[in-house]
Each structure stands twice: as C-alpha cells, then as structure tokens.
A and B are shown apart, each in its own frame.
Chain A
Amino acid sequence: MIDWLASYPKSGNTWMRMLLANYYREDDQPHDINAPGVTNGIASSRMRFDELLCLDSTIMTDDEVAQLQPHVFDVLLQLSPVRQWMKVHDAQVHRADGTWLLPPQFSGSVVYLIRNPLDVAVSRAFHDGHGDMDKAIAMLCAARATIGGGGKTQLRQTLGDWSHHVTSWVDQDAIPVTVVRYEDMLADTAGELARVIAFARPDEVIDEARLEQAVANAAFDKLQAAEADKGFREVGSRQDRFFRSGTAGDWVNHLSAEQVDRIIEAHGPTMARFGYSA
C-alpha cells in the first residue's frame, strides 16, 4: 500500500520527506538530501513509468501516458508489496473512465500538506527562476495548470488551480486523509511529524528521541548547508538553490496589495477554511 505525501508544489513536501528520512534512519547522522530516504520517489516519475510498463514515455503524448499511469502502482506493488511513502503533486481527480488517478485500492493514507497560497506564490516565482509574482499568481489561479511533461524528468502532472488542488485531496473520501499546515510544521515540527506518523502508521510506537533527532537534522539551515556543500538534484533548472527561505509570511516582502487581493479573490473561501488570511 502507498501512503501519499500530497501537496501543491512549494508547500513543504520536500521538508516532510527529509523529516521522515531522518526519523527512520538507523543512526543519528543527517540523511543525505540527495538519497531516496524512505519515500519511494514521486508518483510522476518518468523512469518508473518507463521501467515498469516497458515503454518510452518520451515518445508518447501526455494523454497516452496518463491513460496508463494508474497501472504503474499496480505493477509496483506486485514487485514490491510493502507499505511505502510516495510524494505526489497531481490533483486527485477522476479519469475519463471514472476511476481515480491515484488508485484507492493501492493506497493506505494521504497526508495533505498545505501552505498559505500567498507564500506558495512567492516560492513558486523563485523556484521557476523568474521572480515574476504575477506569473506565479496566474499559475495558482489557472484551472488547467500543469507541471512536468514534455522532456522533463517527471511526467505531466495536472494541478488545476490552488483551491481545486486542495479540495481534490481533502474532500475525497476514497482514501483516509489528514491535513498538515506548513505553518504548523514551523511552529511545532516534532508534533506535526509525530502526527503524520501516527496517522499513516497507527501501529508504530512513536520514538521521541528519533523525533528530536529528525527535527534537528532536517532543520532548514542544515538543509541549506547540505545543498551548498553537495548540491541538490531537485533544484529547478533556472534556480540557484532549492532551499531558499523556509519561512511563513515572506509574502509581505514580495507581493503588492493588488497581487494579494487577486489571490484572495480566487481562493478566499479555501484559505479561510484552513485558517489563512492576508
């Protein structure tokens, strides 16, 4: 079964993966940020699609790939029938044939990571290397927003707009879901990590010492230092560094009042539902 770490991009997914990787380490050394850790990659991995289905996805259209994508998880669990964490940025939607994109029959739980979209917009603008806040806001508001696909190492992922993405996961009832706010991770990292593990793996006894070690080893300054030292594979192709700010409320330094209004106008109800305001 797969436990999904689902999120709109730039919402703390990588940090949660680093926390889990450090928590499950058998020693107290910091986890190598470029090593897989306990998370079995991302649902949209092109390499996994190609290997498991014996196809070259780069000569297929994104729609042809999407048609076959759920089979990847079936074949994966046949080869490796163990409980595993997996990152996913796709919105959880019904496909044309009525089945879910991420199949509930292969799923154990969903940890949905959410972050104030005002900060997501800023982080997105820097991740894409343009620093253009209007462009990033447009993406958060685009009903057909996608990432990946084409020649990229990840298959196309359909996000939709930010509110759609959130509700597609949080309001589905086919897979048990819990919501983790990035801001709560900042305020009580150990507490949120413990809550994630308890939700997805209720039979496990939480090890307080490991929690403490994981929080220390995955502290933002440690991740920044590791990236400066060894580089980070997941950096964007137009980005100088992946671990940039790691804070809440940075939007006040980058967004105009009009830009803030635009995000609130599009996403106000969903923001309010999860305790976000300008």
Chain B
Amino acid sequence: MTAHQSIALLAAESAIRDGGVPATLPDPIRETPTYVLTRDAFLLRLPSGLRFLYRKGHGVVVERPDTVSETDVTAFLNGSVYGAIVWLNGMVPLHASGVVHNGRVHAFTGHSGAGKSTLASALAAHAMPLMTDDVLVLDLSDPSAVVCLPGHKQVKLWPDAVELTEAGVIGRVRRDVEKLYVTPAAGYYPEPLPLAELFFLDATSKTEVAFRPVTGAMRFTLAQAAFFRPLFCNLLGGSGALFGVLSRISAQVAIARFDRPKNKALFADGVAAMAAHIRAS
C-alpha cells in the first residue's frame, strides 16, 4: 500500500453516519467505562450520551442526543476515535505535532500540556508549514522510510498559546471549552513526507534550552511513550508487533530531548533554538 492509498483508506474509514450504537461490544480485549476495544471495532461512550462505533471496513456510526452539537461530534471523532481507527488499520498514531522543512517532518511529542501544538504553530513564523497537530499518523509500509501522513484536522490552541504564535483564530473547539481552532500562519502541508526527527518536549526551572540526543534502549522507551494511546498497540498487535514498530522508528528516525524553560517569558528562545536546529539538520 502506498502512502496515498493509506490516506484514502483513513478517509473512508473515518467517514461518519448517524445510527444506533450498542451499549457495549462482544469479545472485548479491553473494556472501561468510556470505551470498548475489540480486534476489529472500537466503541466510545460519553456521559452526555454521545456514542461512536467504528467497525473495520464499515466506517463510523454516531449516536447523538439532541443536546450534542456537530462541533462536539467532530471534536471527539478527530481525537480518540481517529486514533483507534489508525491502530486498527495497521498504522501508527503518535501523540505529536509536526512541521515541514526541506521535504522532511520534524515532530514534537510530550505529555498533554507540554506545548506540542504551540511550538509547531509558532514555527510558522520561521516558514515551516504544519504537517499535523496532536495526532501524527505514521505509515510503515515503505521499508525505506517512516512516512508521515498529512493531518486530518485543524490545530487547537489555548487562548494564551494563540498569543505566543501568529495563528489566526477560527472559533471555539466546543461551546463551553476555551480551546480554539486556529489556522497556522504558514498553512498546512498536504502531502506525505518522511519523518526525520522526533523531539520529546520537557520544561524545567532551568533558563537555557538544551538538545539531548537519545541513544540506546531509551530510544525504544521514548518512541513507545510517543504513541497515541500506547496501550492499543500492545492489545492489538502483541509484543512482536510492538517490537517491530519500535525497531523501525529507532532505526530510521533521529530521537532527541528538547528541554525548555518553563517560564513562558522565555518561550521565544525555545522557538528560535528549535528553528535553528531544524535548519541545520
């Protein structure tokens, strides 16, 4: 399968239609109060009554109470449901945002709130268009490169992060949530490209930025930590599949830690350092 075929597959699989969604699924490999995962399906259920059912090869069915808006459906579909669709179709979603420079992707991962989207959006000021926000889909079907697929959704930023970037505000992600959809100043990159480097974002009380290459077994540890919903990889593929994925990423992608000051007054220093690093790589 080519990367373009993978893009088409994900577009078809994430197409939604309204309908009835069961409360649970038979033969779960994991069931929690909020989701059910089977070998070929994923069910997400929210306290509002909003439910999504994805079945491999059949797309997504949505059951929504009258009180749930279209923006609510879009917000949850593009996150958790989309991530499950990617795993169930043999691709690898990273919890990462990425930018493009010289035909290669440089991606940022880290825990929620680490500043992945903010850094990626701010790099637009350095003429680096956005590849994807929050979920970076890797296609491993080409043995010569780990290929990133273009993002499927708009960038989301908190209002204070918008002030740190040149992004244009589109509107709220959901009515009662302050997070905003924005347009990155350098736009989106629409084609698949190889992943060159994966940075783990961290912030401490230090006032200097630092790049620290990751070597040895820690590359596997950090690559797995970058997975979007890492538990799904183990549940669906087992340890063999997991080892294969981690080996590919470790062999073909540079991995580094990027330490930044937690002090937001020094945010621009980190952006400038990252832009210089990417240009030099």
Q: A residues bordering B, Cβ < 8 Å?
A: 34, 46-47, 50-61, 64, 67-68, 71, 74-75, 79, 150-153, 227, 230-233, 235-242
Are B113 and A46 in contact, with the CB atoms below 8 A? Answer: yes
Q: B18 to nearest A CB, angstroms?
A: 21
Which chain B residues border A55 with CB–CB below 8 Å? 34, 44, 46, 76, 79-80
Query: A231-B205, A239-B205 are known contacts. Are A58 and B179 too (CB-CB below 8 A)?
Result: yes
Interface size on B, residues (CB 8 A): 41
B112 A46 Cβ-Cβ under 8 A: yes
**When the two chains form their complex, are residues A34 and B111 in contact, meaning their CB atoms are under 8 A apart?**
no
**15 contacting pairs across A/B (C-beta < 8 A):** A51-B230, A53-B34, A54-B229, A56-B79, A56-B112, A58-B113, A59-B76, A59-B174, A68-B34, A151-B179, A153-B111, A153-B113, A237-B263, A238-B264, A241-B205
- Check B259 for interface membership: any CB of A closer than 8 A: yes
> Using Cβ atoms and an 8 Å threshold, which residues of chain A touch B161?
151
A-B interface pairs (CB < 8 A), number: 110
Answer whether A233 and B203 are a contact pair too, CB < 8 Å, given A58-B112, A151-B158, A152-B113: yes
Contacts of A58 in B (CB 8 A): 112-113, 156, 158, 177, 179
Q: Which residues of B are interface residues toward A (Cβ below 8 A)?
A: 32-35, 44, 46-48, 75-76, 79-80, 83-84, 111-114, 134, 156, 158, 160-161, 173-174, 176-179, 202-206, 229-231, 259, 262-264
Which A residues touch B75, using CB under 8 A?
56, 59
Cα A47 to Cα B230 in complex, Å, equals: 12
Q: Lowest 9 A-B CB distances belong to which pairs?
A: A231-B204, A153-B113, A151-B158, A231-B206, A235-B205, A56-B79, A53-B34, A54-B35, A47-B111
B32 A53 Cβ-Cβ under 8 A: yes
| Residue numbers in B under 8 Å from A231 (CB-CB) | 204-206, 259
- Assuming the contacts A151-B158, A151-B179, asked whether A238 and B76 have C-beta atoms less than 8 A apart, the reply is no
Question: Are the CB atoms of B112 and A237 closer together than 8 Å?
Answer: no
